[in-house]
Amino acid sequence: MGYELNLSDMDSSELEKVKEQVKIYKKYRHVLQFGQLYRIRHDNVTQWAVVSKDKKTALALHLLEKAHANDRSEKLVLSGLDPDVKYHFYAEERPVDVRIFGDLINTLAPIHIKQGSKMHDAVAKFVKMKTTPENVSAYGDALMNAGVRLNAAYAGTGFDENTRLALDFSTELYYIEGI
C-alpha cells in the first residue's frame, strides 16, 4: 500500500493511524482497485478522484502543495459521476493538534506559551480542537459542473470547526456516496 516505514519503530498512536488507514482502504478497495481514476487539477493543488464502476461511490483527494497567505478559495469539481444520482459529499471530522499553530497560540492564550515547551505540550493535551470539513448533498451534474466550494482555509486568525486546515503539503480525503 505504499508504506515505507518500519512498524516496529512506531509508537502506539502511529500504529493506530496505520490501522485506521488500512480499514478505510479495505472498505473502499473496490473503488481504489477497480474504479476509474480522474486527474482533476494540478498546479499548486493536486486533485484526483476514483469513481466505482457503478458510479455509486467515489473518493477524491485534495492535496495542497504550498499554502499561500489568505488564499481562501478552493473548489473541487468532480468527474465521472452519474449526473442523475444524488450524492453525499463529505470528509471525516479530524482532531487538530494545537501545537501546529506554533507561536500563534499566544494570540489567544492569557499567558505566554513558549513553542515546544512543556506548557505547549500540556495545552495540547487538554485543549481539543477539531475541523469539520464539507458535508454536502448534491446531484452528480452539480458536483461535476459547479463543484463544491471548500470551507475557508485557516489564514492566521479565526480558526473554528468550519475552517479548513490547509498547511503546506496538507491533504483531505473526500467521500462521495450515492444516496
Grid coordinates of 88: 453525499
Q: How far apart are CA 140 and CA 24, in angstroms?
A: 23
Domain for residue 2, yes or no?
A: no
pLDDT for 171 equals: 86
Domain count, the chain: 1
Grid coordinates of 61: 483527494
Q: How far apart are CA 162 and CA 53, in angstroms?
A: 33
Grid coordinates of 75: 473548489
Which CATH number does the domain housing residue 26 bear? 2.60.40.1180
pLDDT for 70 equals: 63
Domain for residue 71, yes or no?
A: yes
Q: Is the pLDDT of residue 172 over 70?
A: yes
Domain for residue 81, yes or no?
A: yes
Model confidence over 40-98: pLDDT tens digits? 877 888 999 999 999 999 999 999 888 776 665 688 999 999 999 999 999 988 788 88
Domain for residue 1, yes or no?
A: no
What range defines the domain where residue 37 resides?
7-178
pTM metric for this prediction: 0.84
Q: How far apart are CA 137 and CA 141, in angstroms?
A: 12
Q: How far apart are CA 157 and CA 161, in angstroms?
A: 13
